[in-house]
Amino acid sequence: MHEFELISSITSDVIVGDDVTLGIGDDAAALRLTGDTVVTTDILVEGVHFKRQWSPARSVGRKAVAVNVSDIEAMGARPSAIVVALAFPKGLDQAWVAEFEAGVKEECARAGVSLVGGDLSSSPTVTVCVTAIGDLEGRLPVTRSGARVGHVVAVTGNLGWAGAGLVTLQRGFASPKEPVAEQLTPSVPYGQGVIASDRGATSMLDISDGLLGDLGHICERSGVGIDIDTSLIEIPDPVARVAAATGRNALAFVLAGGEDHALAATFPTEVLPEGWRRVGVVVSGDAVSVDGHPWDGAAGWDHFA
């Protein structure tokens, strides 16, 4: 692993937490964690996950961190550190790279993680790969396989905003601003993964491809069904406005929009942690239903569909 240099070397302003015993400057970083380690990686590809004409470089940097740390949160772990690999065209303006770096640092501060290394390369398009590391601190990981019939299904974070923002950008508009901002940089509910774990969450994941589609993973791994109660679903006003302006179903944005990076979990009791809201229940079966019936539409995003 090479020293993470974007334009100038990063020194005193690098975020380094108590977990880091050796940061940037050597072939690898060194961490000291108190529990089992969870590791995840995610990739952002220009033209697939973002477009430079829509996304400022700072937003791309922030999003690259956010979507990875969200997966650490979903395991019930405390985010600890990240490494960032960035590939970009040789003729790319150095100011773009500097703003990307600033975005990475900004989101690291929000997420409470240390930037401990990375790599640079050239590429025909901007491609970002982040690996994130988390500390379970003695907890067991919260997997997708622990849901049981009767458990409450709950979410925390914003649902539907990013999908509405994508449609807005595709139509060439920049407002309503809130959904657009969520599409450019998701508001991850940092800290809620550990809170959910401590409050007995039996399964958990982050909502990256759509609530229905992602809850389907819990159904598959746990051998259960999940029924969503639409009377419990909140449709934010900006999402409703985008739906009305584009002739879309506002509920579909919330249930299947994707890229929100909220968290969904199952709990054995209806007494939920602060910030979590009930949206359904675990039932017998093997799939996700809505108000007791199959959902008539796409359940979320599929890169290979």
CATH number where 188 lies: 3.90.650.10
Residue 3's contacts (CB-CB under 8 Å, 6 or more residues apart) are 9, 24, 25, 117
Q: Are residues 64 and 168 in the same domain?
A: no
In a domain, 184, yes or no: yes
Residue 119 annotated as lining a ligand binding site: yes
Which tokens in the block code for residue 66?
């956010």
Q: Are residues 114 and 183 in the same domain?
A: no
Q: What is the mean pLDDT of each run of 10 residues along the chain (305 residues)?
A: 40 66 87 95 94 95 98 98 96 94 96 94 96 98 98 98 95 92 97 98 97 97 98 97 96 95 97 97 98 86 51
pLDDT value of position 13: 53
Q: How is 233-263 classified by DSSP, letter by letter?
A: ----HHHHHHHHHHT--HHHHHHH-----EE
Domain with residue 62: its CATH number is: 3.30.1330.10
Residue 40 annotated as lining a ligand binding site: yes
Q: Are residues 222 and 251 in the same domain?
A: yes
Q: Are residues 128 and 163 in the same domain?
A: no
Residue 208 annotated as lining a ligand binding site: yes
Choose the final residue of a domain: 135, 161, 183: 135
In a domain, 130, yes or no: yes
Strand, helix or coil for residue 228: strand
Residue 36 annotated as lining a ligand binding site: no
Q: Are residues 158 and 281 in the same domain?
A: yes
- Distance separating alpha carbons of residues 266 and 4, to the nearest angstrom: 39
pLDDT value of position 4: 42
Residue 118 annotated as lining a ligand binding site: yes
Of 164, 162, 155, nearest in space to 239 by CA? 164
Q: Are residues 62 and 191 in the same domain?
A: no
In a domain, 6, yes or no: no
pLDDT value of position 1: 37
In a domain, 9, yes or no: no
Which residue type does 289 have?
S
- Distance separating alpha carbons of residues 65 and 110, to the nearest angstrom: 10
Residue 161 annotated as lining a ligand binding site: no
Q: Are residues 257 and 202 in the same domain?
A: yes
Residue 144 annotated as lining a ligand binding site: yes
For the chain, how many structural domains are there in total? 2
pLDDT value of position 15: 62
Q: Are residues 117 and 200 in the same domain?
A: no
Domain that holds residue 244: 152-290
- Distance separating alpha carbons of residues 141 and 127, to the nearest angstrom: 30
Of 166, 251, 159, 249, nearest in space to 207 by CA? 159
